[in-house]
Structure 1
Amino acid sequence: MSTLSSGDMDWLAALLLDVGTAEIMPRFRNLGDGAVHEKTSAADLVTEADVNAERVITDALLQRFDSAVVIGEEAVSENPALLEGWSRAEGLAFVVDPIDGTFNFASGVAPFGVMLAVVEAGETIAGIIHDPVGKDWIMAEKGSGAILRRLDGRETALQVAEPAGAVNRMIGSASWQYMPEPERSTLARNQALCLGSVAYRCAAQEYRLLAGGHIHFALYNKLMPWDHLAGSLITTEAGGYVRRFDGSIYRPEHTDGGVLATTDIDSWNMVREALWRG
């Protein structure tokens, strides 16, 4: 069970809603000149909305949890040393992706989200993914199940799909663009073995599809904590199975080795074998 109180979880959800309303949505399809910058490539962007949202979230977290560590994607982009040993810090650590799917956001299309994970003693104990467009959340605390919470307060339990039983009956997401060759080409080709594929360029929304029972797997090679800690916990709490590519448990300190999230262990093995097939 999480050591956070129900009041803490409600406060965190409200914080993400407030930031989405004040900092993100006013800039959606309304970014001015100079508001978008490349980081590592034309597909890896940062906007003034990312920077402002992360600043507001970080400030609010440190006011409420004054001894906590906060790891934000944009702060780490400016100072990579922040990633060193953060998951072993005493007390709570918060991991923030102010806008997951920045390429989509900057392009004026809707698949993006705000992601927040809570880590304690080297374990992810809570995760929240907020959709600023739909104004709702998927969220989980370790050992308590996963829910979809709507703006009016209604909550629905999340449950991954029933196992499909074969790769050719699965729909999934395989993000191969950060993979080295020949894996990149192999996975891109072998996706054709599946019933269908989705590629939102937004882990926040792809984890929502998986935890909500709409797809059967999601696969990522780039393993930064803000991209996957919240979604992997929510998927696990929704009954799913999440492991790194070598079958080991994905933990907050991992930044390599990829992650494959599926509905169950048998599906994990099927996808792992089929997509890497030579």
Structure 2
Amino acid sequence: MTATIAYDRTVSNLIDKLSATGHVTHKSYRKTSVTLHHNGGRLSHQGVLNVWKTRPASAHFDVDAAGAVAQYVKVNEFAWAVGNMAGNQSTISIEMANATLAPGWTVAEDTWRNAARLAGWHFAKVIGERPSKSNLFYHRHWSSTSCAGPYMDKIYDKVLAAAQEAYDHFKDSHPVPRPDTEPFPGASFFHTGRKSPIIAAMHRRLVAEGCNRYQTSANADVWGPGDVKSFAAWQRKLGFEGGDADGIPGKASWDKLQVPNV
């Protein structure tokens, strides 16, 4: 069974069940935004799946009336959600159950707050940018529709603030210890699986704040424990030259990270 995201709350896995319909497009794209929808009904996760079994549509996630989350499409894959090809390629779509139907199309606070929290997780862990009005959208941003409804329009600023709060939480959810609290690991670190404070600090400073920008300009691999090439590339971004960019975390790397506006 395909795994869901590594979220800190339960995510119901409906990925394989939607994929079994045959209309899921398994193509991966870089995601740069999150789009919120209402599902036009007071639907359960299974109810959403039942609709998509007969209608070739999809979204990555659904948040039900109680705030519970289900996943239907892998995060980086194409979802048939926003009525716009570029949008379907670049955005992560999150459906929300309605609390009432037309004309108000209200959404319960448990639902929209949990959708905003999920969006914040994706901005921190997938997109690498803080949510703002330029990357947290409603469906109507992409095509001619009133989705996510008039009620959600009225509370957009609250939704954005909740997503930003979640982003800040997830971005800083792994505090970095000072380097003098444990020995600096050498090259053998990359085969131990231990968390180095230097690696963690570099990750927070460069990846969380500009993952794609740094990795593209440095021609580095995607970061991960054991990725010497990426660490060396980030050392070069911090001003290390020649053999000093050795891909090994040490005190010099930590000292560089303390310089403002690096």
TM-score with structure 2 setting the length: 0.24
Which structure is higher in helix share? 2
Which structure is higher in strand share? 1
TM-score with structure 1 setting the length: 0.23
